[in-house]
A and B are shown apart, each in its own frame.
Chain A
Amino acid sequence: MLLVAQLRFQPAALTTLASGELAMLDTRNGVAKLSSSNAVTHLINGFGAYSASGFAEVGNGEFLVTQEMRFKSSATLIRLARFNTSGSRSSEWVLPPGGALAGIVVDPVTRTAYCTDSQTNAVYRLAIDNPKATYAVVTRMPEAGNLGPIALDVPRRRLLIGDVQKGAIVSVGMDDRKIITLDARTVAEPVAIAADTKNDRVFIADASARRIWCGNLSKWKLQPFNVAQKLGFPIGLAIARDGSLWVADAKQNVVYRFDTRDGRTLQIVKP
């Protein structure tokens, strides 16, 4: 039986909380979570004049959100903001002008955030427990189009990064900073990456192709992940605690949960 919950906003990015619940980011209206009892609770009520482009749970119910505020003069305020459990902003790290934060992922062991910059195509590292920390450049990829989503592959000590414009997936070593192009042909528009290190799997949302790709993290061979629902514009992915896959569809304004064994629809969350 499908469980259908009601949402009030447009989910884009997704993440699974330490509690096992699904958290959803609306770029303007904040963050909400879907509890195990299928109730939707707002955790952050809007971002004011800012819009968000990525988020990650710090681990204790707090969130990091990459945000920007654009002006007609082409100036842009970019920051990484930390929101506490009551949904209030507790600290922020402002990015110097010229960049635009896109994806974010947190290494819970080292308490380090990794962010992609879609303007300068840099990857930054930031110590999240130090409010005065500055962005340290992990690497720059001048040949890239626009870096976007980022995921963590802890067992292999690497970051998985999607180039939204050129349609490539690259890995960046967390220790040696080595850049390896994993795929430059299969995925046209990688807008979200979900790494399931427990089951050695990776899922990639290909928005313009309206499909999900899945593959093996160690061998990296991608193939279509056929799901029971026809997707309109898959934009967000998250691995559920039971190994199933959450997919946010921006065109249909729906979040699906699919069985990763056969693509069967397990749950639908509708606005």
Chain B
Amino acid sequence: MSRSVIVAMIALLWLPPDAAALDLQLESVLTAGRFDFTRKTADVADAPPPFNNRLSGSTEHYDVWMGPDDVAEVPLLHFFSYSLYVRSKASPAQVTRFAFQGRSIGAFDDQMADVRFHVIDGALTETDTITLPIFGFVPDVIVSSHQPEDANDVFLATEHDVPIPITNELKNMAVTITGASAASNDAALWKPIEVRNGVAPFAPFLLRSGASDASTLKIHLDPRTSHAFGTALFRGRAKFDDIINVTLTCKTLGRDQKPVTIPVRVQFVPWPPILLMITFIGAIVGWLLLLLAKAKRESWTERLRILGSGIAVALLIEVFGMAMVLGKSELKVLDFTLDPFQMPTAALVGVLAGIAGYKSRDLLLSISQMEIFRLGGGKKSDATA
């Protein structure tokens, strides 16, 4: 026997215990139910995940950890599979993988729990705790959304972002929103609906344990005005015009991705006849202003005629503006784009037409004298003149 072989044999005797001699045990966790761990295998880890501080524990001589992808549900056989890694602090290059089977008894929320572990190396046993995900018998509702009692308001001809408040129902486990999409019950009402993170396109984000977020997630709505107008006009007794189903894909440690659908009710505002009423009232206000400033000397008959003209012109402009927007044009005043489907514009149109009562009267007269109104109605036109 050569000298080198003898040296090698002696060296082998002095080597630290190999991977197979090392053992790791996890204690059961008691919550509202119970979660048991059964150790299945131990082998040398060929490509262990990097050590991390979140899913780890340390004893005097050993580090124990798990990667975020090292736990998975096995629905076929009703258990969870775990891989945990152990390394000696003295020789960190040598890592042992321990496979565990986790089973839940009783219903409780999925959660992060402090699990007591024992590293056993021959006569040496060291104990500490590691934070691990444990899982209830029944997968929970992960994410919920508290929707307002009344439908969300959306303007008929203006883009609008509707916030989607969400809450992580798991009080002790974070959830990642990995995907989001939105679909309307009536696709004809909208241009393509986008789900956004604030003003940016959607990107996956983390919702911490039990956290609520009312501002990050939004759906960007851009109505097709003509369809929206028709729907809003004939809403009937319903308290909403459409339901947009926002589907979030949620992922928690160990569980498969799960879709959560949030129905978001929307209604177009204001109701179109209301706009005409506001225009009507605006015209009266404008007429009153005109009375104060200029029309004091007119007879009441003339004053009422001016009022009637103001109201008629205001309604004409409002309806004309609506028709323009429905026809995909814009209503502009002094380079400002006005949305005739919003109440301030409707009120402004009314007030301006009311103030310009004389002009409104003249405008109506000129319209009534147009050739088109003379055909078959000349006598009436003369009377008006």
Interfacial residues, chain A to chain B (CB-CB below 8 A): 10, 12-13, 25, 27-28, 51-54, 70-74, 100, 102, 118, 145-146, 148, 164-165, 167, 188-189, 191, 207-209, 233, 235-236, 250-251
The reply to whether A70 and B77 contact each other, CB–CB distance below 8 Å, is no
A188–B75 touching, CB < 8 Å: no
Known: A70-B137, A164-B101, A208-B41. A235 touches B107 (CB 8 A): no
CB contact between B137 and one of A51, A74, A189, A251 (< 8 Å): that residue: A74
B residues bordering A, Cβ < 8 Å? 38, 40-41, 43, 72, 74-79, 81, 99-101, 103, 106-107, 137-138, 256
Query: Across the interface, do B77 and A118 meet the contact criterion of CB distance under 8 Å?
Result: yes
Chain B min CB distance to A187 (Å)? 10
Contact of A250 among B43, B72, B138 (CB under 8 A): B72
Q: Which residues of B contact A165 (CB under 8 A)?
A: 38, 79, 101, 103
Q: How far does the Cβ of B175 sit from chain A's closest Cβ, in whole Å?
A: 18
> Pick the contact of B77 from A25, A164, A188 — CB < 8 Å?
A164
- B81 and A10 within 8 A (CB): no
**Contacts of A188 on B, CB cut-off 8 Å?**
40-41, 99
List the A residue with the shortest CB-CB distance to B36.
A165
Q: Is the CB of A10 within 8 A of B76?
A: no
Q: Are A72 and B74 in contact (CB-based, < 8 A)?
A: no
**What would be 20 A-B contacts, judged by CB atoms less than 8 Å apart?**
A12-B76, A25-B76, A53-B75, A53-B77, A54-B76, A70-B137, A74-B138, A118-B78, A145-B38, A146-B79, A148-B77, A167-B40, A191-B77, A208-B41, A208-B81, A209-B40, A209-B41, A209-B99, A235-B76, A236-B76
**Chain A interface helix/strand/loop/mixed:** loop
The verdict on A74 contacting B72 (CB below 8 Å), with A165-B38, A189-B40, A209-B99 known, is no
Residues of B within 8 A of A12 (CB): 75-76
- For residue B103, which residues in chain A have a CB less than 8 angstroms away from its CB? 146, 165
Which residues of chain B have C-beta atoms less than 8 A from A191's C-beta? 74, 76-77
Select one of B79, B100, B137 contacting A164, CB under 8 A.
B79
7 closest A-B pairs (Cβ-Cβ)? A208-B99, A208-B40, A27-B75, A188-B40, A12-B76, A188-B41, A70-B138
In the bound assembly, the distance between CA atoms of A145 and B77 in angstroms comes to 12
How far is A178 from B76 in the complex, measured between Cα atoms in Å? 27
Q: A71-B138, A72-B107 are in contact. Are A53 and B76 (CB under 8 A)?
A: yes
Q: How far is the CA of A114 from the CA of B106 in the complex (A)?
A: 28
Residues of B within 8 A of A73 (CB): 107
Q: Report whether A102 and B77 are in contact in the complex, using a CB–CB cutoff of 8 Å.
A: yes
Return the chain A residue nearest B256 by Cβ.
A10
Residues of A with C-beta under 8 A to B40? 167, 188-189, 208-209
- Asked whether A13 and B107 contact (CB < 8 A) given A188-B40, A189-B101, A209-B40, the answer is no
State in angstroms the CA–CA spacing of A71 and B78 once bound together. Answer: 14
CB B141 to nearest CB in A, in angstroms, measures: 10
Residues of A within 8 A of B137 (CB): 70, 74
Beyond the given pairs A53-B78, A165-B79, A191-B76, 16 more chain A to chain B contacts, judged by CB atoms under 8 angstroms and listed by A's residue number, are: A10-B256, A71-B138, A74-B137, A146-B78, A148-B77, A164-B77, A164-B101, A167-B40, A189-B101, A207-B81, A208-B81, A208-B101, A233-B72, A233-B74, A236-B76, A250-B72
Q: Which residue of A lies closest to B138 (CB)?
A: A70
Shortest CB-to-CB span from A97 to chain B, Å, is 14
**Shortest CB distance B73–A (Å):** 9
Q: Which residues of A contact B38 (CB under 8 A)?
A: 145, 165
Minimum C-beta distance from B67 to chain A (A): 12
Select from chain A the residue with minimum beta-carbon distance to B108: A72
List chain A residues, Cβ under 8 A from B99.
188-189, 208-209
CB-CB nearest in chain B for A54: B76
Chain B residues near A207 (CB-CB < 8 A): 74, 81
Which of B43, B78, B138 makes the CB contact (< 8 A) with A100? B78
A146 adjacent to B77 (CB under 8 Å): yes
Q: Please, which residue of chain A has its CB at the minimum distance from the CB of B75?
A: A27
Chain A residue with Cβ nearest B100: A208
Asked if A233 contacts B81 (CB within 8 A), the reply is: yes
Please give, as numbers and ranges, the residues of chain B lying within 8 Å of A235 by CB-CB distance: 74, 76
Chain A, residue nearest B82 (CB): A208
B78 to chain A, nearest CB (A): 6
Cβ of A148: which chain B residues have Cβ within 8 Å of it?
77
In the complex the two chains form, what is the Cα distance from A13 to B107 in whole Å? 26
Bound: A165/B107 CA distance, A? 20
Q: Taking the nearest CB of chain A, how far is it from the CB of B75, in angstroms?
A: 4
Question: What residues of chain A lie closer than 8 Å to B106, measured between beta carbons?
Answer: 74
Chain A residues near B256 (CB-CB < 8 A): 10
Per a CB cutoff under 8 Å, which of A53, A74, A146 touches B107?
Answer: A74
- Give the CA-CA distance A191 to B72 in the complex, in Å: 14
Within the complex, which residue of A28, A72, A74, A145 is in contact with B75, where a contact is CB–CB below 8 Å?
A: A28
Given A189-B40, A208-B99, A250–B78 Cβ distance below 8 Å? no
Is A72 a contact partner of B138 (Cβ separation < 8 A)?
yes
A102: chain B residues within 8 A (beta carbon): 77-78
- Assuming the A-B contacts A10-B256, A70-B138, A233-B81, are A189 and B75 also in contact, with contact meaning beta carbons closer than 8 angstroms in the complex? no
With beta carbons under 8 angstroms apart, the residue of A70, A167, A209, A250 that contacts B74 is A250
CB of A4, distance to nearest CB on chain B (Å): 23
- Residues of chain A within 8 A (CB-CB) of B74 are 191, 207, 233, 235, 250
Determine the chain A residues whose CB is within 8 A of the CB of B107 once the complex forms: 72-74
A74 to B106, CA, bound (A): 6
CB distance from A66 to the nearest CB of B (A): 10
With both chains docked as a complex, state the minimum distance between the C-beta of A224 and any C-beta of chain B, in angstroms: 12
Report the Cα distance A9→B43, complex, angstroms: 31
B78 cross-chain contacts in A, Cβ below 8 A: 53, 100, 102, 118, 146
